[in-house]
Every structure is written in structure tokens, then in C-alpha cells.
Amino acid sequence: MRRVVCDGERLGLRDVTEADVTALHTIYSHPAAVQHAPFAPRSLQEVTGLVEEAMEAAAAEPRRLYVLAVVDARHRDVIGVARLRIEADLPHSAEIGFGLHPDQWGRGIGTDLVRLLLSFGFKQLGLHRIWGARSPANLPAQLAMLTAGMVEEGRIRHHLHTPNGWRDSIVHSAIEGEWTER
């Protein structure tokens, strides 16, 4: 099993471990952090289950799911979570998702995180296309993805069922040959 370690200037990505459950719970349980997610704040037990599933996925061959702790480059504290899921039918394409603790908002960390995910996907995994979907109301995610070099492709109507009802998604993507690290 190949462990993920991907370091940027301000952030790093690494596989989640059991030791991350408490830090991840502070993100997944925070109402503001999950306000645009298709789920309600998560319990400690639910986050423990997510980490266990992530560790199982890390051992799979071929590996299709990467659940990664987002860490502060200086202190190595967990400040967020990122997912990259390689599509089973399209092994050249992957979907990304990410969340940061609200304490990290407003400092460009989201843009750095998207750039790091794109770099990981294109350079380390050899992907051709990486895409992500966001809530139409999630303007910080829009800004992060556009600034990181992704292109807005369009809207998927009633894409996800959330605790508040059906929600549209706005899709962004980056293509390996068009994307350049900035």
C-alpha cells in the first residue's frame, strides 16, 4: 500500500489515521463547516466510521478513494479533510471534495488546498480530468476552485438530497493538459 504524502508551501496532505478522529470530528460536527454538505453535522461515532472506511479504502488494490487529512505545513495540525475518488468506469477521471475548519476560512487556504489536490491528482496519480461539485450558495468554494485553475462547467439540477431537501450542484473541472500550477 502506497501512503500519501503531498506537501505544499502552507499545507500538506496525508492519509487519515485513527489518531485524526477527534480533529476531523471538530470539522464534520461544526454546523458552519458542513452547511453546504449533503449531510447534517456528524457524530463522533460517524466520523470514526468514516476514518475506518478511509483506512480500508487505502489498502484496496487498485486504490480508488483517497481520504486525506489536510495539515498545516508548519505545525502539522489537522485543519481540514479532502477526498479524491477515482471513477470506477473512468480511471483517468476523479472527483474531489474538501472541507476546512472555519478557523481557517478567509486566508486563501481553500485555494491552496484545491491546487494541492490538483497537483496530487495530475502529478502523482497521472489523472487526465479532475472535477468537483459545489453548492450554488458556496461562493468561497467557487472562488477557491476558479482561482486554483478549475473551469466552471455547469449546473446539475436536483443533484443531491440534503437534510434541507434537493440541491443543485455546480460542477468545476480541470484537465491535465490545460492546468498549470500557479
What pLDDT is recorded for position 127? 96
For 38-96, what is each residue's pLDDT tens digit? 999 999 999 999 999 999 999 999 999 999 999 998 888 999 999 999 998 888 999 99
Residue 34: which of 100, 91, 93 has the closest Cα?
100
For 15-45, what is each residue's pLDDT tens digit? 999 999 999 999 999 999 999 999 999 999 9
User: What is the side-by-side order of every strand in the sheet holding 65-72?
Assistant: 5-7, 11-15, 65-72, 78-86, 93-100, 129-134, 165-175, 151-162
pLDDT band at 182 (very low <50, low <70, confident <90, very high): low
Q: What's the mean pLDDT when you consider all of the chain?
A: 94
For residues 136 and 98, what is the distance between their CA atoms, to the nearest angstrom? 15
For residues 132 and 174, what is the distance between their CA atoms, to the nearest angstrom? 9
pTM: 0.94
Q: Coil, strand or helix: which one is 58?
A: helix
Q: For residue 45, list its beta bridge partners.
A: none
User: In whole angstroms, what separates CA 69 from the centre of its chain?
Assistant: 9
pLDDT at residue 181 is higher than 70: no
Q: For residue 156, list its beta bridge partners.
A: 169
Q: Cell numbers at residue 11, please?
A: 499545507
68 within 8 A of 84, measured Cβ to Cβ:
yes
What pLDDT is recorded for position 109? 95
